[in-house]
Chains A and B, each alone.
Chain A
Amino acid sequence: MLRFSKSKIIFTVGIIVIGLLLAVPSMMSREQREAFQRALPGWVPSWIVPSRAIVLGLDLQGGSHVLLEVDVPDLMRTQTTQLRDDIRRILRETRVTPQGGIQLTPRGAQIRVPDVADRDKVLPKLRELSQPLGSAVLGQGGGRDLDVSVTPDGLIALNYSEAGVNEKVRRAVDQAIEVIRRRIDVTGTTEPSIQRQGADRILVQVPGLQDPQRLKELLGRTAKLEFRLLAQTGAADVDMLPMKEEGGNRVPVERRVIVDGSDLVDAQPAFDSRTNEPIVNFRFNVRGAQRFGQATTEAIGRPLAIVLDNEVISAPTIQSAITGGAGQISGRFTVQQVNDLSVLLRAGALPAKLTIVEERTVGPGLGQDSIEAGKKATYVATIFVVIFMFATYGLFGLFANIALVVHVGLIFGLMSILEATLTLPGIAGIVLTIGTAVDSNVLIYERIREEFKSGRSMVSAIQAGFDRAFATIVDSNSTMAIAAVILFFLGSGPVRGFAVVFILGILTTVLTAVTLTRMMIALWYHWVRPKTLPF
């Protein structure tokens, strides 16, 4: 019958109180939360007091959302260049000269070795270049990253397999995430989020950024630094690279890299003591210092090309052997450029070029406006609905209104404990659930009314109203849930925030509109013993 045991009441109220308490930290600012945690007496463990708060989406707190994609052709170019160097080393070791040199293909390299004896010398070594894929510990996968094939006329082709390319891309993404994290840390932004998305993408979300353009510059540069020698006339293995200082004229540069950025241990912005020009001072690690020292000893009098992202920044002539492992880069930089370059060099080079495929930036002012507008809409919607429900159902409307306020509180509580992100569409979702949450109450009340009119007693009508409306409530909420769940899996960012709110709203409405309302009505009935419905 219309009876609630004491334990049930305590249980329901308990859950609701806990749910509402969880929402409290979200109503405070971060400083208030921390102050509150500190103010606790020492014997209270800090986890008892809820401290998790809703995370505001970038559209509400302002910030940049940048989706980067690994440039796979660029990555494969780097890989095949490395492969060529490996092949060259093997050819040198085995003293085999292929016909027509080493040809690079988009996915690998090929050489022609018509002599069978030579081929037998080279092939086993070349096969060693191919690495097994997947976790070697578990011995699974079985595939190899490099396919080595030979035609009868002696064409040896080394091509990265599909799985090999994927593996390279995966590793490139991992490395890039590390590099990006180091780069962004320097800018001093709080709580950047950098995560892998899909196979070849990285999502960077930086809240509250003042200068999104600088972020993009930091992300967009590969920052591959190489020290090479300018080629002498007639030299083989030469790249034609644009020269920064001479308006992009191309100059011949030796393919051989003396030292690259990975051997740097430090890079700092500074000013040249003589010209007062902004420069970057750097230091090499031991290996880099050794190589650099040796190369500069051998090449005194020749210009050294400092190559950044395939552009020659400057090409000073080597005056004397540089064995100390330190040096400087000049190139008509501005102070800002020098700062950025040292950051990039310290953070290391990206394994491949990253392309920005999506950018969404919201200024902090607009975010604040959206929060204010959202709050206002929430209050107004609540007032509209509360007045309307009370005007229609009187006391029962009041019960529904209490349930409604608890419902909104619980959504916030659940979002806090899940550390879900509240976005602008999410606020719209909350406002919308204010309208739809009372639907369950309406279904129940209308049914009670109907049952009462058809001649049932109060208790029996209320009982039947709840029982019969329940199936419909489940049906109508399930249909809403279907749409919301699909939206959750489909959408990203703001739209997903809407789906989260909607799903949580459907869950809490069952607790508040059905259980809580029923409890209030049961208590009221036992207290007042009314003879007729109040609406």
Chain B
Amino acid sequence: MRLIRLWPDDSRFDFMRFRRFSFPFSAIISVATVVLLLTVGLNFGIDFKGGTLMELQAKSGQADVGKVREAANGFGFGDVEVQEFGTAGGISLRFAIQEGGEAAQSAVVQKARDTFGGEYEFQRVETVGPRVSGELVQSGTIGIILAVVAVLFYLWFRFERELAVGAIIGTLHDIVLTLGFFVITRHEFNMTSIAAILTIVGYSLNETVVVFDRTRELMRRYKTMPSVELLNLSINNTMSRTVMTAVTTALSLLALVLFGGRAIEGFAQVMLYGVVICTYSAICISSPMLIYIGLRGSEAAKSVGGKVAPAE
């Protein structure tokens, strides 16, 4: 039987060359994402914004979106987002948070049940009051910051400072680009999204660490090899593994996107995107970053200077 090889053995590909495209590309995308985050912003779900989300299923199998929208807007609970989903008469309604504190929120559910209870099945009802949503925003933010700090400490203990800096830049890059994905696709940003981002942080590091473990090993073996060559060799050596793991992870996520159902689809799409981004950043951002940070202190910087100058 002939076995598949996704990546040729003993490749000698010059990955470092990519940095001339990848650096400006990632810089532009990152800046654009930050601008978008500040102007357009994330599409926060009720976890963070508060409010009420309902998913109804028409008992007859036929949902009348127009009628539901009209009725819901007539409740006097502010603007309602009414959307159709699925194929067989699913409707989702999203009410903004109501004035009047915690108790005011239940009135929305009561009213909707009274109005739509006859023709529709209430499959999901979620109400998050102002206090809880505030706390969730807090814990979500703390979580991401804590993850970055914890990762910093881990890298600091486990790797040389230069490698750690490279890895953390790569991780931050991946977080920013994932947020960009949320902004552009208008995916709802909720607690599950935080889980996705933290998983992407883990995966991003995983990718970078595998390459850097090899870089460190090669640094000890080839004490005089210039940084660019060394980094290229590290990536080439680990490339078949990088491709394999990206593919197996992507395959399982693809299964989730295709069959996981509506509730998990969004999470899976973000993760799938994350796998691509993390693989890209490990090769095209974190590793080439080390050329500028300097792999072996001043001695490495010198050899880099000599190499890079003529090419530019």
Asked, given contacts A388-B248, A439-B245, A495-B191, whether A486 binds B150 with beta carbons under 8 Å apart, the answer is yes
Asked, given contacts A392-B244, A435-B253, whether A486 binds B195 with beta carbons under 8 Å apart, the answer is no
Q: How far is the CA of A271 from the CA of B247 in the complex (A)?
A: 70
Q: How far is the CA of A55 from the CA of B82 in the complex (A)?
A: 34
Q: Which of A354-405 contact B (CB under 8 A)?
A: 355-363, 365-366, 369-370, 372-374, 376-378, 380-381, 384-385, 388-389, 391-394
- Our pick among A374, A393, A450, A490 for the contact of B142 (Cβ within 8 Å) is A490
Q: Which of B192-244 contact A (CB under 8 A)?
A: 192, 194-195, 198-199, 201-203, 205-206, 209-210, 213-214, 217, 237-238, 240-241, 244
Interface of A is mostly: helix
Pick the most buried of B126, B255, B264: most chain A CB atoms within 10 A of its CB: B255
Let me know if B142 and A435 touch, CB within 8 A.
no
**Set of chain B residues within 8 Å of A483, measured between Cβ atoms:** 147, 151, 198-199, 201-202
Let me know if B247 and A373 touch, CB within 8 A.
no
Residues 75-86 of A, flagged 1 when their CB comes within 8 A of B and 0 if not, give 000000000000
Give chain A nearest CB distance to B262 CB in angstroms: 8
Number of A-B contacts (CB under 8 A): 238
- Our pick among A356, A427, A432, A476 for the contact of B210 (Cβ within 8 Å) is A476
Let me know if B143 and A490 touch, CB within 8 A.
yes
Comparing A108-116, A212-220, A227-235, the segment that makes contact with chain B is A212-220
Q: Does B6 contact A (CB under 8 A)?
A: yes
Asked, given contacts A394-B3, A495-B192, whether A443 binds B259 with beta carbons under 8 Å apart, the answer is no
Interface size class of A (residues with CB under 8 A): 35 or more
Let me know if A431 and B255 touch, CB within 8 A.
yes
**Set of chain B residues within 8 Å of A370, measured between Cβ atoms:** 261, 263-264
Q: How far is the CA of A438 from the CA of B198 in the complex (A)?
A: 20
- Our pick among B3, B105, B254, B261 for the contact of A393 (Cβ within 8 Å) is B3
Q: Does B267 contact A (CB under 8 A)?
A: yes
- Our pick among B143, B194, B245, B252 for the contact of A432 (Cβ within 8 Å) is B252
Q: How far is the CA of A52 from the CA of B157 in the complex (A)?
A: 40
**Set of chain B residues within 8 Å of A357, measured between Cβ atoms:** 102, 129, 131-132
**Set of chain A residues within 8 Å of B27, measured between Cβ atoms:** none
**Set of chain A residues within 8 Å of B147, measured between Cβ atoms:** 482-483, 486
Let me know if A355 and B103 touch, CB within 8 A.
yes
Q: Which of A483-520 contact B (CB under 8 A)?
A: 483-484, 486-487, 490-491, 494-495, 498-499, 502
Q: How far is the CA of A431 from the CA of B264 in the complex (A)?
A: 11
Let me know if B264 and A436 touch, CB within 8 A.
no
Q: How far is the CA of A82 from the CA of B1 in the complex (A)?
A: 86
Asked, given contacts A374-B261, A431-B255, A490-B139, whether A361 binds B192 with beta carbons under 8 Å apart, the answer is no
Asked, given contacts A366-B55, A381-B256, A442-B244, whether A435 binds B121 with beta carbons under 8 Å apart, the answer is no
Q: Does A11 contact B (CB under 8 A)?
A: no
Asked, given contacts A391-B3, A479-B202, whether A377 binds B260 with beta carbons under 8 Å apart, the answer is yes
Q: Does A475 contact B (CB under 8 A)?
A: yes
- Our pick among B1, B126, B209 for the contact of A394 (Cβ within 8 Å) is B1
Q: Does B124 contact A (CB under 8 A)?
A: yes
Give chain B nearest CB distance to A340 CB in angstroms: 15
Let me know if A425 and B267 touch, CB within 8 A.
yes
Q: Does A434 contact B (CB under 8 A)?
A: yes
Asked, given contacts A355-B103, A394-B1, A482-B150, whether A432 binds B253 with beta carbons under 8 Å apart, the answer is yes
Give chain A nearest CB distance to B208 CB in angstroms: 8
Let me know if A475 and B213 touch, CB within 8 A.
yes
Let me know if A498 and B125 touch, CB within 8 A.
no
**Set of chain A residues within 8 Å of B267, measured between Cβ atoms:** 425, 428
Let me know if A428 and B251 touch, CB within 8 A.
no
Interface size class of B (residues with CB under 8 A): 35 or more
Give chain A nearest CB distance to B198 CB in angstroms: 4
Give chain B nearest CB distance to A524 CB in angstroms: 17
Q: Does B35 contact A (CB under 8 A)?
A: no
**Set of chain A residues within 8 Å of B195, measured between Cβ atoms:** 425, 487, 491, 495, 498-499
Let me know if A380 and B127 touch, CB within 8 A.
no
Q: Does A125 contact B (CB under 8 A)?
A: no
Let me know if B192 and A425 touch, CB within 8 A.
yes
**Set of chain B residues within 8 Å of A475, measured between Cβ atoms:** 158, 209-210, 213
Q: Does A480 contact B (CB under 8 A)?
A: yes
Q: Does B113 contact A (CB under 8 A)?
A: yes
- Our pick among A361, A378, A482 for the contact of B202 (Cβ within 8 Å) is A482
Q: Does B11 contact A (CB under 8 A)?
A: no
Asked, given contacts A363-B124, A373-B260, A494-B192, whether A428 binds B249 with beta carbons under 8 Å apart, the answer is no
Asked, given contacts A480-B206, A495-B195, whether A446 binds B132 with beta carbons under 8 Å apart, the answer is no
Residues 454-475 of A, flagged 1 when their CB comes within 8 A of B and 0 if not, give 0000000000000010011001
Q: Does A145 contact B (CB under 8 A)?
A: no
Give chain A nearest CB distance to B103 CB in angstroms: 5
Residues 331-368 of A, flagged 1 when their CB comes within 8 A of B and 0 if not, give 00000000000000000000000011111111101100
- Our pick among A67, A355, A381 for the contact of B252 (Cβ within 8 Å) is A381
Let me know if B125 and A360 touch, CB within 8 A.
yes
Pick the most buried of B110, B198, B213: most chain A CB atoms within 10 A of its CB: B198
Q: How far is the CA of A289 from the CA of B251 in the complex (A)?
A: 73
**Set of chain A residues within 8 Å of B3, measured between Cβ atoms:** 391-394, 535
Q: Does B83 contact A (CB under 8 A)?
A: no
Q: How far is the CA of A357 from the CA of B147 in the complex (A)?
A: 28
Q: Does A103 contact B (CB under 8 A)?
A: no
Residues 104-126 of B, flagged 1 when their CB comes within 8 A of A and 0 if not, give 01100110010000000111111
Q: Does A226 contact B (CB under 8 A)?
A: no
Asked, given contacts A356-B102, A360-B126, A435-B251, whether A479 binds B205 with beta carbons under 8 Å apart, the answer is yes
Asked, given contacts A358-B128, A366-B55, A392-B244, whether A431 binds B253 with beta carbons under 8 Å apart, the answer is yes
- Our pick among B57, B106, B143, B248 for the contact of A438 (Cβ within 8 Å) is B248
**Set of chain A residues within 8 Å of B128, measured between Cβ atoms:** 358
Give chain A nearest CB distance to B78 CB in angstroms: 19
- Our pick among B139, B192, B194, B255 for the contact of A381 (Cβ within 8 Å) is B255
**Set of chain A residues within 8 Å of B172, measured between Cβ atoms:** none
Closest to B268 in A: A428
Closest to B216 in A: A471
Asked, given contacts A394-B3, A482-B147, whether A424 binds B102 with beta carbons under 8 Å apart, the answer is no
Closest to B146 in A: A486
**Set of chain A residues within 8 Å of B289, measured between Cβ atoms:** none
A sample of 10 more A-B contacts (CB under 8 A), given A391-B4, A432-B271, A491-B191, is: A374-B261, A384-B251, A388-B4, A388-B251, A392-B3, A431-B255, A442-B244, A446-B244, A490-B139, A495-B195
5 contacts between A and B (CB under 8 A): A361-B124, A384-B254, A384-B255, A391-B3, A480-B206
A residues adjacent to B (C-beta < 8 A) = 59, 67, 69, 212-213, 216, 220, 355-363, 365-366, 369-370, 372-374, 376-378, 380-381, 384-385, 388-389, 391-394, 424-425, 427-428, 431-432, 434-436, 438-439, 442-443, 446, 449-450, 453, 468, 471-472, 475-484, 486-487, 490-491, 494-495, 498-499, 502, 535
B residues adjacent to A (C-beta < 8 A) = 1, 3-6, 9-10, 55, 57, 101-103, 105-106, 109-110, 113, 121-129, 131-132, 139-140, 142-143, 146-147, 150-151, 154, 158, 191-192, 194-195, 198-199, 201-203, 205-206, 209-210, 213-214, 217, 237-238, 240-241, 244-245, 247-256, 258-261, 263-264, 267-268, 271
When A and B form their complex, which 8 residue pairs have the shortest distance between CB atoms, in order from nearest?
A: A373-B261, A435-B252, A483-B202, A435-B249, A381-B255, A479-B205, A381-B252, A380-B255
